[in-house]
Structure 1
Amino acid sequence: MGLHLDWSNEQEKLEIPDNWIEKLEELLQLAGEAEGMDRGEVALTFTDDEGIHALNKEYRGIDRPTDVLSFAMQDDGVEELDIVFEVESEDEPDPISGMLGDIIISVDRAVAQSEEYGHSIEREIGFLFVHGFLHLIGYDHGDEQSESEMTAKQEQVLLKAGLTR
């Protein structure tokens, strides 16, 4: 099956070039490889501040836009995914068992942050995508140690893909 990226664009402010999607697919493969994952599907949606604000308010109770949201299909992370794949029947595969979850990126936030940090929009979207992917597989940054671990993993993947600051 492999790792698969399914994406959609629900914003009109920025065209999403094909080479960005190719780079995001590469990032997915690199991040999956770094985490020992070789199967699963990620749904990526590009939206604007208005769209992500509504989702952030509805699902997290936070009344403001954010840069990226992740909605994991498997709440227990990688361990549960391994179990799901082992019990999947070849005759009747469960269509959602391989679904890791959804990542939503605000293009408005990505553009603003790329300007603020002084790097390309492609690098910022790549960073947000890898960040979202790590959330899908169970990583969090609720304390300093876990934030440091997550940041190091993100930077390692981005470096391998050539998306440096």
Structure 2
Amino acid sequence: MSIEVSNESGIDVSEEELISVARFVIRKMDVNPAAELSMVLLDTSAMADLHMRWMDLPGPTDVMSFPMDELEPGGRPDAPEPGPSVLGDIVLCPEFAAKQAADAGHTLGQELALLTVHGVLHLLGYDHAEPDEEKEMFALQRELLEEWVAEQVEAYHKERQLQRDRVLLDQSRYFDELTDDR
């Protein structure tokens, strides 16, 4: 899976975290692992230009998605074996997202993770224009984000345990050396 991130926003964000959450959603939604995704982070001025040009709406927004290939989660049963495809582009505006994060009482990283999930779901054909669509998309978005966070927490705890195990192994080697010196 190829995920490219281009940060043109002037705000320092964790590109690794954005890639991690995007990769997680793509995998969970059963998209071909050879799929390609591009993520661009823009400042508010560039995002406002894009928002006006593509949506005819003034001012910046938090996330926009530009799908490339027509995809459906899990693929269509009557379609040939799926091959690699270009999902499209997700455009994020960290400055705009930072304001939303502050209003919601969480970090910019959490907001960008949420927006990344949202953007990938749009690339996969989900929308929230109608109440039923919104309910489905936002429930899936919440579920995927919660699963990704749980996976991150588990990985953190495993890494901490590995570090503790290394320290114990190093100490036991030290004791072996002490007994060998006698």
* TM-score, length of structure 2 as denominator length: 0.73
Cα separation, 1, equivalents of 2:17 and 2:140:
17
Indicate whether 1:33 and 2:21 are aligned: no
Cα separation, 2, equivalents of 1:59 and 1:85:
33
What do you get for the CA RMSD once the two structures are aligned? 2.1
Indicate whether 1:23 and 2:17 are aligned: yes
Cα-to-partner distance string for 1:60-118 (whole Å, 9 max, x where unaligned): 111221110100002x33258x95874x6xxxxxxxx6210000001111100000000
Cα separation, 2, equivalents of 1:124 and 1:85:
35
- Please state how far the C-alpha of 1:26 moved relative to its aligned partner: 2.2
| Residue of structure 1 in register with 2:59 after alignment | 64
Q: Which amino acid aligns with 2:12?
A: E
| Residue of structure 2 in register with 1:111 after alignment | 98
In structure 2, the gaps of 5 or more residues are: 151-182
Q: Secondary structure at the match of 2:149?
A: coil
| Residue of structure 2 in register with 1:55 after alignment | 50
Indicate whether 1:10 and 2:8 are aligned: yes
Q: Aligned pairs, how many?
A: 146
Greater helix content: 2
Q: Which amino acid aligns with 2:39?
A: L
Cα separation, 1, equivalents of 2:140 and 2:17:
17
Cα separation, 2, equivalents of 1:152 and 1:24:
20
Q: Secondary structure at the match of 1:125?
A: helix
* Relative contact order, higher structure (CA 8 A, sep 6+): 1
Structure ID, larger Rg? 2
- Please state how far the C-alpha of 1:138 moved relative to its aligned partner: 0.5
Cα-to-partner distance string for 1:9-54 (whole Å, 9 max, x where unaligned): 1121x212xxx22222221232123211133111001111111110
Q: Which moved more, 1:126-135 or 1:151-160?
A: 151-160
CA distance 1:112–1:156, shift in 2 (3 Å): same
- Does the CA contact (< 8 Å) of 1:27 and 1:157 recur in 2? no
Q: How does 1:87-102 map to 2 (within 5 A)?
A: 98-102=85-89
Cα separation, 2, equivalents of 1:24 and 1:62:
26
Cα separation, 1, equivalents of 2:67 and 2:25:
16
* TM-score, length of structure 1 as denominator length: 0.80
